[in-house]
Structure 1
Amino acid sequence: MPAIKLLYDERILKNAIKTLDLLIMAKIQFARGIEETVVPDVRLTRAKVGDSSTATFTFTNPDILAQDGKIEPTGLYLIDEEGEIKISAVQGKFVNGKPESLEAVYVMQSKEEWDRFMRFMNRYAEENGLGLSKS
């Protein structure tokens, strides 16, 4: 009898995890656990030959800079139901000695990385009412 109960509990747990996965929204963080509410400008480039591509994120006056140094950016984390994409290359831009923006560059070397990134961006754009403009 305990084995049947264990199977039943395992099914309940799996269903609960699936439900929670559906509730995870696409979000961006500079420090784990602290959501960034400023929507970035994102510029994409792709190589004409090969699978190399880049995404450059620019955040003007992001929330993390308003923390007065209490919380330092540890990277840029793109989080959704598929998991996390971590971007380590984050740089600050200063005007008159004060931080004004943060820029992160994500370099993708394969079609799979590009496709994963685009799935994240589509979710993030949908949840934040964003659109695509070609330049």
Structure 2
Amino acid sequence: MAQIQFSRGVSEPVVPEVRLTRAKSGNSGTATFRFESPTILDAESTDDITGMYLVDEEGEIVTREVKGKFINGKPTSVEAILIMNSQDEWDRFMRFMERYAQENGLGFSKA
């Protein structure tokens, strides 16, 4: 089962908007995840955001580049950036996203 976590072991049910960029050479790329009103920001949540963990049957992909957005002092969204520095990292990420998309009804469209 493919899932996204901000705190190890705690799945985030909110499905993000994901934007991908890739170098023309194909050797590097970035994925920007934007979560609107994720449950990790709920007042009842006592879990700390320790990173973003993309977990599936192959293992996990981790990024520590996670930022919160606040409006009038209240948390509203979370943005995480995953940087991929090789073709292997890109391929691994795409395998995760295929699984995650299937399980969450996501589609892909080119900009």
Establish whether residue 105 from structure 1 lines up as the match of residue 81 from structure 2: yes
Unaligned ranges ≥5, structure 1: 1-24
Deviation per CA, 1:28-79: give whole Å up to 9, x if none.
1000111100000000000113511000000000010004562110000000
- Equivalent-residue separation in structure 2 for 1:72 and 1:60 (angstroms): 17
TM-score of the two chains, using structure 2 as the length reference: 0.96
- Equivalent-residue separation in structure 1 for 2:26 and 2:55 (angstroms): 27
TM-score of the two chains, using structure 1 as the length reference: 0.79
- Find the structure with the greater CA-based Rg: 1
Could you tell me which amino acid in structure 2 is paired with residue 63 of structure 1? T
SS in 1 for 2:75: strand
Structure having the higher helix fraction is 1
Following TM superposition, the consecutive aligned residue runs of length 4 or more in structure 1 with deviations greater than 3 angstroms are: none
State percent identity of aligned pairs.
63
What RMSD in Å do the two structures reach over aligned CA positions?
1.1
Could you tell me which residue of structure 2 aligns to residue 27 of structure 1?
Answer: 3
Unaligned ranges ≥5, structure 2: none
Name the structure, 1 or 2, with higher relative contact order (CA <8 Å, separation 6+).
2
Structure having the higher strand fraction is 2
